[in-house]
């Protein structure tokens, strides 16, 4: 990989991947929404193009052809918050992803990587569990499943190497969404005792710096039409992660388990296996959950939570 296009480049994961690529001598064209670039560095190897998701076919008019060999697609509307349950939006995201793949082909990129999710596997398990009544978050997961399947077929037709990394749960400095890690850390900073489910469901987390490095290595070494899980390599029940967080940043607080009902699907531990990722790409997470929580807490304190 010599030069890469990155959509969603001003976002949490996209911005981290841009910095990782530049740090390793890879030229980047960052595709952003409405010229927003506050999460991007100043760097001689970086160029910026503005293109909204619903205008993805127009990207071919904004980027020079046959310069970039790899295309990373992170742009996804409604990845957090109530919009995860917007059926029309999540279906549209899948179509926009296919349009990004077609743009990648026209621009001369031989490889296409999208930000897949462990939620794809949860969604499939939830969809085929008799009597199950999945929560609204699985609508987002369904969008990812549809995007994955459609891109596999279209990439095969176009002759593009599709590689599909799947994130377990990325967290860390720079993320502002109201997801589990952020919500819990902010409560700890305020001296409040966080409340959770019983925490018996299997889980995994990966710190953002590790996730960005994984995306680079998968882009460089991943096999075409393979999926690669990005996680810590040490999945376990959620309760164990949260107790590790407590020991690291708030040993004086009581974390309360069982007060929040769990309506999701509990995947078996083997579904979180990252051994294929390590074997094919050499990626292994380096930052422990405790250390990642400390860094994230310090960042929230610095910016004011």
For the chain, domains (ranges, CATH) are: 3-167 (3.40.50.720)
The reported pLDDT for the residue numbered 144 is: 97
Q: What is the pLDDT of residues 102-119, one digit of tens each?
A: 999 999 999 999 999 999
Q: What is the pLDDT of residues 188-220, one digit of tens each?
A: 999 999 999 999 999 999 999 999 999 999 999
Q: How confident is the model at residue 263 (pLDDT cuts 50, 70, 90)?
A: confident
Cβ(128)–Cβ(24) below 8 Å: no
Distance CA(219)–CA(72), nearest Å, equals 8
Q: How confident is the model at residue 305 (pLDDT cuts 50, 70, 90)?
A: low
Q: What is the pLDDT of residues 138-188, one digit of tens each?
A: 999 999 999 999 999 999 999 999 999 999 999 999 999 889 999 999 999
Mean pLDDT of the region 21-29: 98
Distance CA(6)–CA(15), nearest Å, equals 9
Mean pLDDT of the region 82-94: 96
In terms of Cα–Cα distance, which of 169, 180, 142 is closest to 260? 180
The reported pLDDT for the residue numbered 80 is: 83
């Amino acid at each position: 990989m010599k030069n890469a296009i990155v959509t969603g480049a001003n976002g949490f994961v996209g911005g981290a991947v841009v910095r990782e690529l530049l740090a390793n001598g890879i030229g980047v064209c960052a595709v952003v929404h409405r010229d927003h670039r506050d999460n991007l560095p100043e760097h001689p190897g970086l160029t910026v193009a503005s293109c909204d998701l619903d205008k993805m076919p127009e990207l071919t008019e904004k980027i020079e052809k046959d310069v970039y060999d790899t295309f990373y697609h992170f742009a996804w509307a409604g990845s957090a918050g109530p919009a995860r349950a917007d059926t029309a939006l999540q279906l549209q995201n899948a179509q926009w992803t296919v349009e990004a793949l077609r743009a990648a082909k026209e621009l001369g990129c031989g490889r296409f990587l999208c930000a897949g999710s462990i939620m794809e596997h949860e969604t499939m398990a939830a969809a085929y569990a008799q009597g199950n009544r999945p929560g609204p978050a699985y609508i987002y997961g369904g969008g990812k499943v549809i995007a994955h399947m459609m891109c596999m077929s279209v990439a095969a037709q176009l002759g593009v190497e599709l590689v599909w990394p799947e994130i377990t749960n990325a967290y860390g400095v720079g993320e502002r969404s109201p997801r589990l890690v952020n919500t819990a850390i902010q409560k700890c900073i305020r001296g409040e005792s966080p409340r959770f489910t019983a925490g018996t469901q299997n889980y995994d987390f990966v710190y953002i710096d590790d996730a960005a490095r994984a995306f680079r290595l998968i882009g460089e070494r991943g096999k075409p039409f393979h999926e690669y899980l990005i996680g810590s390599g040490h999945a376990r029940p959620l309760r164990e992660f949260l107790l590790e967080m407590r020991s690291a940043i708030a040993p004086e607080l009581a974390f309360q388990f069982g007060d929040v009902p769990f309506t999701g699907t509990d995947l078996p531990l083997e579904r979180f296996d990252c051994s294929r990722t390590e074997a094919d790409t050499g990626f292994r997470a380096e930052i422990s959950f405790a250390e990642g929580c400390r860094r994230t807490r310090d960042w929230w304190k610095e910016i004011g939570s």
